[in-house]
């Protein structure tokens, strides 16, 4: 279906990304999932094809596209057959780099943003800590000014791209007495003394993406690595989280759409009691319900994206889209697995991966419960 927000440019980008995903990504995801790592050539290749910079200005090597270009990328990557790589790409394009574009100096854009958009530097985003997940304001990682440097101490967990990232967009406390108003952002290079990757984490799903725990011990970074305004980091990152959540919702719905299409094909082909599964009304109704949920979730994502792209800050709708996208993707993959029966439980069928991967959509980037908290607040509750 065509939505008015998509122009011929968006359709052309969608076709190009789908062709790339079908030819160069999808045939390998099985292997990358097994290895729990995708190869390092993927980002430079995507950078060369211009896919990592679709919605960034031309002066930074981008294509100058709008927010919907990023959404198209998220949707098409989600169709590759595994959630891990699309998540890694989304961290690069929509989580770790937008704050540099928005708040960075020209030097920071030259050093970090441009190479990231070309796929030559891998980026990660460090918010979550062992003692601070949903409660971002309670982070304990501390940055203390020492002459013209900052000294960082703390620990980050669940960091996507954490193993391979060349730099991290790091959230740290600069004035613990000020709560939300005492948080700042920093750009920290891999290899900076005191910055170590302490372990690679084993995950239920999203396995081709690497997730790490990081440690900062008296890690000294130059003053110019402060990103944006000192003590405004919480507000800067909260703005960034909105765009991330919407792209995440779009990807979740797109991946669920693919899972649904495959389940429909399976139900047409699988014969039991002398007829294909789709001829059993309970299965037909299940598929009809799945198609309806997908359509409703996608409509909410698109209408919210239109507002966001037009410069509005629709926090309520973004939280709703993230909540619905995550829940629908989880329900669709579970319903699809049921349609596959015992085959769905076997590792040789992709639906088990969709089921495992989609579970994260209700946790990462803000849990269902936190989305409901935000929505409740916007309702004045
Ligand atoms: C695979 C993966 C990749 C990730 N990538 C990144 C990354 O790149 N960078 C990064 O910074 N983080 C990343 N995260 C972290 C992710 O955003 C957090 O896991 C998430 O925000 C939840 O935090 P938590 O895990 O500490 O759970 P907690 O905050 O401990 O929550 C536990 C449970 O309590 C509920 N809960 C908490 N507070 C409330 C409340 N006030 N009311 C009701 N219920 C509540 C939660 O909803 C949840 O169900 C990643 C996580 C995973 C699993």
Task: Look at residue 2 and tell me if it is in a domain.
Answer: no
pLDDT at 3: 55
In a domain? residue 165:
yes
- What is the arithmetic mean of pLDDT over 284-297? 98
- Rounded to an integer, the average pLDDT of 60-77 is 95
Query: What's 171's domain CATH number?
Result: 2.40.110.10
Please identify, among 74, 100, 121, the residue that sits at the C-terminal boundary of a domain: 121
Within the chain, residue ranges assigned H as helices are 8-20, 29-35, 42-48, 67-77, 84-90, 98-103, 106-108, 114-117, 233-269, 281-309, 315-340, 351-358, 368-378
Average pLDDT over residues 138-165: 98
Q: Is residue 66 part of a domain?
A: yes
Instruction: Convert the pLDDT of each residue in 35-59 to its tens digit.
Output: 999 999 999 999 999 999 999 999 9
Question: What residues does ligand 1 touch, defined as CB less than 6 Å away?
Answer: 91, 125-128, 133-134, 158-160, 203, 206, 211, 360, 363-367, 369-370, 373
Domains held by the chain: number:
3
Is residue 272 scored above 70 in pLDDT?
yes
Give yes or no: residues 128 and 115 share one domain: no
Whether residue 47 sits in one domain with residue 95: yes
Domain boundary among 198, 231, 264: 231
By residue range, what is the domain housing residue 183? 124-231
Do 239 and 353 lie in one domain? The reply is yes
Does 256 share its domain with 366? yes
Catalytic hit among 33, 75, 244, 317: 244
Q: Is residue 82 included in any domain, yes or no? A: yes
Ligand 1 atom nearest residue 126's Cα? 11
Q: pLDDT for 202-259, tens place per residue?
A: 999 999 999 999 999 999 999 999 999 999 999 998 888 899 999 999 999 999 999 9
């Amino acid at each position: 279906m065509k939505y008015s927000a998509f122009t011929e440019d968006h359709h052309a980008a969608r076709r190009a990304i789908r062709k790339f995903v079908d030819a160069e990504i999808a045939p390998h995801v099985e292997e990358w999932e097994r290895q729990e790592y995708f190869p390092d050539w993927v980002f430079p290749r995507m950078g060369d094809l211009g896919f990592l910079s679709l919605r960034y200005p031309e002066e930074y090597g981008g294509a100058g596209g709008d927010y919907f270009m990023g959404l198209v990328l998220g949707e098409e990557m989600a169709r590759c057959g595994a959630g891990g790589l699309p998540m890694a790409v989304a961290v690069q394009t929509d989580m770790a780099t937008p704050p540099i574009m928005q708040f960075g100096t020209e030097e920071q854009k030259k050093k970090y943003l441009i190479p990231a958009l070309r796929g030559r530097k891998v980026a990660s985003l460090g918010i979550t800590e062992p003692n601070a997940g949903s409660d971002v304001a309670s982070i304990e990682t501390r940055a203390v000014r020492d002459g013209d440097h900052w000294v960082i101490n703390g620990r980050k967990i669940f960091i996507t791209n954490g193993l391979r990232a060349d730099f991290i967009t790091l959230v740290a406390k600069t004035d613990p007495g000020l709560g939300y108003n005492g948080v700042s952002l920093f750009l920290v290079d891999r290899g900076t003394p005191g910055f170590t990757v302490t372990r690679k984490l084993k995950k239920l799903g999203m396995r081709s993406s690497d997730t790490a725990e990081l440690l900062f011990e008296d890690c000294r970074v130059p003053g110019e690595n402060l990103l944006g305004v000192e003590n405004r980091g919480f507000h800067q990152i909260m703005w960034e989280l909105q765009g991330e959540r919407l792209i995440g919702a779009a990807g979740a719905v797109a991946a669920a759409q693919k899972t649904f299409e495959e389940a429909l094909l399976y139900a047409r082909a699988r014969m039991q009691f002398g007829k294909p599964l789709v001829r059993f009304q309970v299965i037909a109704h299940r598929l009809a319900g799945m198609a309806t949920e997908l359509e409703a979730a996608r409509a909410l994502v698109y209408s919210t994206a239109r507002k966001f792209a037009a410069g509005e800050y629709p926090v309520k709708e973004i939280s709703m889209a993230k909540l619905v996208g995550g829940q629908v993707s989880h329900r669709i993959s579970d319903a699809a697995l049921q349609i596959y029966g015992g085959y769905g439980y076997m590792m040789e069928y992709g639906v088990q991966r969709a089921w495992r991967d989609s579970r994260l959509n209700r946790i990462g980037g803000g849990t269902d419960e936190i989305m409901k908290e935000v929505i409740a607040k916007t309702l004045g509750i």
